[in-house]
């Protein structure tokens, strides 16, 4: 049974394969907050890793380190064995083509149609002709179940449709890795499960590596091959869905069950007195 991670090198990808992504001894401070304290993490190709933890614990910061949008104060970030934390912008831009990023709030361009949003990375980063771009846009919109809405503007779409358009844009360049930042936030349970099914579909059909940051434990349990938990700058859990359900660490069990701790309850009493 997996327990809390208590050694710096404990958060490692299972199996003997060389990891696709590695964080080694990563430290990061933002203002007064120590976000990471010697974080170590290795991720294998083709797996879906879900990152959980309380708000403000650095989950989104982790994604930004992986894709090179933020750099560690100390330590190394590797992609396919190459250190990327200090690569020049031109080289880093080439590596980022391997990554698709689904932002928490979708981040569609309001002035562009759904189809043009999906086409944007193809127009900006490739020399493909318009006919080829249109073919790819139609293909990606079909993959997310929105084949007929390419002409619509974001304001005409539901929240779930916006997420799916943003996901079609994230896969437009056929990435090897997809980073999902709170993919089900703001969606009702049925629409959220549609996103979960798409995460599973893309893993199966595109054979992508997925890293999913979420507070939604129903989503986590559905899509994860592996779950890791960040708490106060460290990974305190690393294991399977079954292992996290059986974990004896109170911090872990309280989070996955959604239970307030004693300090939270005391503060409610103080505020109400």
Q: What local confidence, expressed as pLDDT, does residue 56 receive?
A: 86
Tell whether 62 is covered by a domain: yes
Tell whether 167 is covered by a domain: no
Q: What local confidence, expressed as pLDDT, does residue 262 receive?
A: 66
- How far, in Å, CA of 28 to CA of 35, rounded? 5
Q: What local confidence, expressed as pLDDT, does residue 267 receive?
A: 66
Across the range 164-176, mean pLDDT stands at 96
Q: What local confidence, expressed as pLDDT, does residue 232 receive?
A: 92
**pLDDT tier at 103 (50, 70, 90 boundaries)?**
confident
Tell whether 156 is covered by a domain: no
Q: Are 227 and 218 in contact (CB under 8 A)?
A: no
Tell whether 137 is covered by a domain: no
Q: Is the pLDDT of residue 2 over 50?
A: no
158-172, 173-187, 255-269: range with lowest mean pLDDT = 255-269
Tell whether 146 is covered by a domain: no
Residues belonging to the chain: 273
Task: Give me the chain's average pLDDT, please.
Answer: 89
Domain harbouring 3, CATH code: 3.40.50.300
Q: What local confidence, expressed as pLDDT, does residue 18 receive?
A: 83
The strand ranges marked E within the chain are: 21-30, 33-43, 48-52, 74-79, 82-83, 99-102, 177-181, 209-213, 226-231, 234-239
> Considering the entire predicted model, what is its pTM?
0.88
Tell whether 40 is covered by a domain: yes
Tell whether 264 is covered by a domain: yes
Tell whether 104 is covered by a domain: no
12-26, 31-45, 57-71, 122-136: range with lowest mean pLDDT = 12-26
Alpha-carbon distances, residue 133 vs 35, 127, 130, 139, 144 (angstroms) = 40, 10, 5, 10, 17
How many Cα atoms sit within 13 Å of 163 on the Cβ side? Answer: 23
Q: Is the pLDDT of residue 16 over 60?
A: no
Number of domain units in the chain: 1
Q: Is the pLDDT of residue 11 over 70?
A: no
- How far, in Å, CA of 187 to CA of 98, rounded? 28
Record the tokens describing residue 144, joined without a space.
């997310």
Per DSSP bridges, beta strands 226-231 and 48-52 are parallel
Across the range 36-63, mean pLDDT stands at 94
Domain that residue 89 falls in:
1-98+215-268
């Amino acid at each position: 049974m997996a327990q809390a991670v208590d050694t710096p090198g404990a958060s490692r990808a299972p199996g003997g394969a060389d990891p696709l992504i590695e964080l080694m001894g990563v430290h990061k401070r933002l203002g007064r907050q120590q976000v990471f304290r010697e974080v170590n993490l290795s991720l294998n190709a083709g797996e879906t890793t879900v990152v959980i933890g309380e708000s403000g614990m650095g989950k989104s910061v982790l994604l930004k380190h992986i894709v090179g949008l933020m750099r560690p104060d100390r330590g190394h970030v590797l992609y396919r064995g190459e250190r990327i934390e200090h690569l020049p912008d031109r080289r880093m831009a080439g590596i980022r083509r391997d990554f698709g990023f689904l932002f928490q709030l979708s981040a569609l361009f309001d002035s562009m149609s759904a189809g043009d949003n999906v086409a944007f990375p193809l127009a900006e980063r490739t020399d493909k002709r318009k006919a080829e771009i249109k073919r790819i846009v139609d293909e990606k919109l079909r993959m997310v179940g929105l084949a007929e809405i390419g002409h619509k503007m974001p304001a005409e779409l539901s929240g779930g449709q916006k997420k799916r358009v943003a996901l079609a844009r994230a896969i437009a360049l056929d990435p090897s890795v997809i980073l999902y930042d709170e993919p089900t936030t703001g969606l009702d349970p049925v629409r959220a499960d549609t996103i979960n099914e798409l995460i599973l579909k893309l893993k199966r059909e595109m054979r992508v590596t997925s890293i999913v940051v979420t507070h939604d434990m129903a989503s986590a349990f559905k899509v994860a091959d592996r779950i890791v938990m960040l708490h106060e700058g460290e990974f305190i859990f690393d294991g399977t869905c079954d292992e996290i359900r059986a974990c004896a660490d109170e911090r872990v069990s309280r989070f996955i069950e959604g239970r307030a701790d004693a300090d939270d309850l005391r503060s409610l009493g103080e505020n109400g007195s």
